[in-house]
Amino acid sequence: MTTEDEAQRLLIVEDEDHLAAGLKLNLELEGYRVDVASNAKEAGQRLLDPSGYDAIVLDVMLPDVNGFDLCRKFREAGNFIPVIMLTARSSPEDRVLGLEAGADDYLVKPFELNELLARVRSVLRRQRWEQNTGHHVKQTTLSFGDAEINFDTHEVTVSGEAVQLTQLELDLLRYFAENAGRVLSRNELLERVWKLRNYGNTRTVDNFISRLRRRFESDPSSPVHFLSVRGAGYKFSA
Ligand code: CA
């Protein structure tokens, strides 16, 4: 068995037993090793396991600490495991909260099982691609405008102020930086950054571009770094 074939480990943090059991079963059928934590405290204990997890599926509504706070705590502790949040709420503010808390992706309940499986495959593929290609060696730092980014240490500052980016935001930023000046279609970004092929929903890309603009543009409504190219996609200019 090669490293590539070893089962990847997932942690589901979900207090609704039937939902957790259903997710566990289906993810196991896909070949993952799956553990379930039914509250934030248990999740914290699980994450101390030195063999670690490859990704976390995290429910927002937990009995002790809410998922947003738990995710923020992981990130503040320097834990950059991919997190997919499950939210029962669908208001744009909640989606933003999830992403602000450092989630890589989110799904609104009720969701299709296939959609969750696709998102899980996507975050894991992205992580494996990083590890296998040593992609971060190619470009370790980036500066543009008032921003300084170190892709190795995840240290990001804007005008000297520390900013926290998720792995996905860093990956997207790096892909832009490595392809500066070139027009990148939404589908290319989904395929190269999200590792999603023939994925119909390109809104995800637009949401993340908005996020990068809010982080890095002095006037997000008239961007000078993350440019829209009408009918084609986006272009990065340092
Ligand atoms: Ca719940």
Distance 59 CA to ligand 1 centre (A): 6
116 is a domain residue: yes
My answer on whether 126 and 209 are in the same domain is no
Question: What's the gap in Å between 46 CA and the centre of ligand 1?
Answer: 18
Distance 60 CA to ligand 1 centre (A): 6
Residues 207-226: tens digit of each pLDDT: 899 999 999 999 999 999 99
**Tally of structural domains, the chain:** 2
On whether both 164 and 94 belong to a single domain, the answer is no
Q: Which CATH number goes with the domain that contains 72? A: 3.40.50.2300
Q: Are residues 87 and 174 both part of a single domain?
A: no
Q: Are residues 48 and 126 in the same domain?
A: yes
Q: How confident is the model at residue 147 (pLDDT cuts 50, 70, 90)?
A: very high
Residue 18 Cα to ligand 1 middle (Å): 11
Q: How far is the CA of 19 from the centre of ligand 1 (A)?
A: 9
What global pTM score does this model have?
0.64
Note whether residue 55 is domain-resident.
yes
Specify if 37 maps to a domain: yes
Same domain, 58 and 93: yes
Calculate the alpha carbon distances from 188 to 66, 82, 208 in Å: 35, 21, 14
Are residues 114 and 46 located together in one domain of the fold? yes
For residues 13 and 113, membership in a common domain is answered with yes
What is the SS3 assignment for 108?
strand
Expressed in angstroms and rounded, the spacing between residue 70 Cα and the centre of ligand 1 is: 13
Name the band, by pLDDT with cuts 50, 70 and 90, for residue 146.
Answer: very high
Query: Are residue 74 and residue 13 in the same domain, yes or no?
Result: yes
Contact of 10 with 57, CB cutoff 8 Å: yes
Q: Is the pLDDT of residue 1 over 50?
A: no
Please tell me the predicted confidence (pLDDT) of residue 154: 86
Q: Do 120 and 166 fall into the same domain?
A: no
22-50: pLDDT as tens digits: 999 999 999 999 999 999 999 988 887 76
Residues 126 and 26 in one domain: yes
Give the model's pLDDT for residue 55: 93
Which of 9, 15, 8, 41 is CA-nearest to residue 109? 15
The residue segments making up the domain with residue 151 are: 141-236
- Residue 21 sits in the same domain as residue 122: yes
Residue 12 CA to ligand 1 center (angstroms) comes to: 11
- Those residues whose C-beta lies under 8 Å from the C-beta of residue 72, and which sit 6 or more positions away, are 101, 102
Please check whether residue 163 lies inside any domain of the structure: yes
Whether 3 is covered by a domain: the verdict is no
Same domain, yes or no: 45 and 127: yes
Residue with tokens 């602000």: 100
Token pair recorded at residue 227: 């440019």
- Tell me, in angstroms, the distance from the centre of ligand 1 to residue 184's CA: 38
- Distance between CA atoms of residues 106 and 119, nearest Å: 9
